[in-house]
Amino acid sequence: MQDAIEIVATSAHPTNKIAATLFHDDWHLSKTNDWPPAIEKQIGRDKKIGNSSGTIHAETACVLHAPHATGGASLCITDPFCPNCAKNIAEAGIKTIYLDHKGFDKDFFRRRGEDFENMSLRICAHAGIGVYKLWRKEKRIETIYESPEGFLPPDDSPVQQENLNEANEDVFKKQIQQAVEIHKRRKFSLCFARDEDGNVFCLTARAHPVTGYTMTDPEEALDLLTPIGKYSFIQEPVNRMLMNCARRGLKIMQNYFYCSQIPTSREQVNLVGAGLKRITIGDFERCRDRHGRHAMEQLSEAGILQYF
């Protein structure tokens, strides 16, 4: 937590400065909420990307830049986290979150605390993530939520992973064609990625409620599909892919990322934050909302992301 506290003031955000430290075994990484350099330079801090902020939240930045697999890792955050970060944390396989107690006294939490209580903590409970409040000077920890021992969240739509002998355009097109036949009109993403030993994999992820939620109960499924304010329990396919690759310690290969339709604004910002420069789109006529199309136009015109 001290690492996060020491860098939080360096955040470029003018009002809500947040920092996080992701750690596991013998490695750790600290990040603030900030604009990806390409967006800051080519578009600027004062413009939204579609209907999304151009920033990457500190928690998500840690996941996107993690040097090793994030599955089973822990996270220290200066402030309570939003539902979108909760979804990313869950998909990344993080098992423990520590929150600085001072974050609960800030104006931002006073205004958005209901989102933390009603969605962020519910997401953590379903994913089996322990959440704790931490006092650094007093060396004290208070339990906010503790997952039952041995709890394993259900997963009725896991991200598929397949070994590949090689990665090239022909193999990429073949994998896309096969996935389109399997998933039909469902939203999904596909990418090629490498592990630390250089082995190549093809991964496929459908849009689905965040880790721990299932679509097997019709009543629960209807509840999950209903947004609460500006947030939703659905994890879009590009975000699922980015977080699951981090979870498995896989690095996504440039030029081999596909989405069956135009991603949402936030997904596209996260792609830029992950350092990707190209995405292949299956159907340019389909998009969750008009904002995603606008984000695509902005990022394409600025030369930040190429769309094929």
The residue out of 111, 145, 179 marking a domain boundary is 145
pTM of the model as a whole = 0.96
Q: Which residues contact 305 (CB under 8 A, 6 or more apart)?
A: 268, 271, 272, 276, 277, 278, 279, 296, 299
Domain CATH code at residue 182: 3.40.140.10
* pLDDT at 276 (0 to 100): 98
Q: Are residues 194 and 266 in the same domain?
A: yes
The answer to the question of residue 247 being in a domain is: yes
The answer to the question of residue 295 being in a domain is: yes
Residue 61's domain comprises 2-145
Q: Are residues 58 and 172 in the same domain?
A: no
Q: Are residues 131 and 230 in the same domain?
A: no
Q: Are residues 34 and 126 in the same domain?
A: yes
Q: Which two tokens stand for residue 3?
A: 């690492």
Q: Are residues 28 and 126 in the same domain?
A: yes
CB atoms within 10 A of CB 50: 25
Q: Are residues 141 and 169 in the same domain?
A: no
The residue out of 83, 118, 145 marking a domain boundary is 145
The answer to the question of residue 72 being in a domain is: yes
* pLDDT at 221 (0 to 100): 73
Q: Are residues 118 and 214 in the same domain?
A: no
The residue out of 145, 178, 200 marking a domain boundary is 145
Q: Are residues 119 and 221 in the same domain?
A: no
Pick the closest to residue 291 from 56, 75, 127, 47 (CA basis): 47
Per run of 10 residues, the mean pLDDT along the chain (length 308 residues) is 97 94 97 98 97 97 98 98 97 98 90 90 97 96 96 94 97 98 95 98 96 82 77 95 98 98 98 98 97 98 98
* pLDDT at 112 (0 to 100): 82
Q: Are residues 99 and 195 in the same domain?
A: no
Q: Are residues 138 and 165 in the same domain?
A: no
* pLDDT at 29 (0 to 100): 98
The answer to the question of residue 84 being in a domain is: yes
* pLDDT at 26 (0 to 100): 93
Q: Are residues 246 and 214 in the same domain?
A: yes
* pLDDT at 225 (0 to 100): 78
* pLDDT at 215 (0 to 100): 86
Q: Are residues 69 and 189 in the same domain?
A: no
The answer to the question of residue 153 being in a domain is: no
Look at the chain and report how many structural domains it folds into. Answer: 2
The answer to the question of residue 166 being in a domain is: yes
* pLDDT at 283 (0 to 100): 98
Q: Which two tokens stand for residue 205?
A: 């992820």
The answer to the question of residue 150 being in a domain is: no
The answer to the question of residue 283 being in a domain is: yes
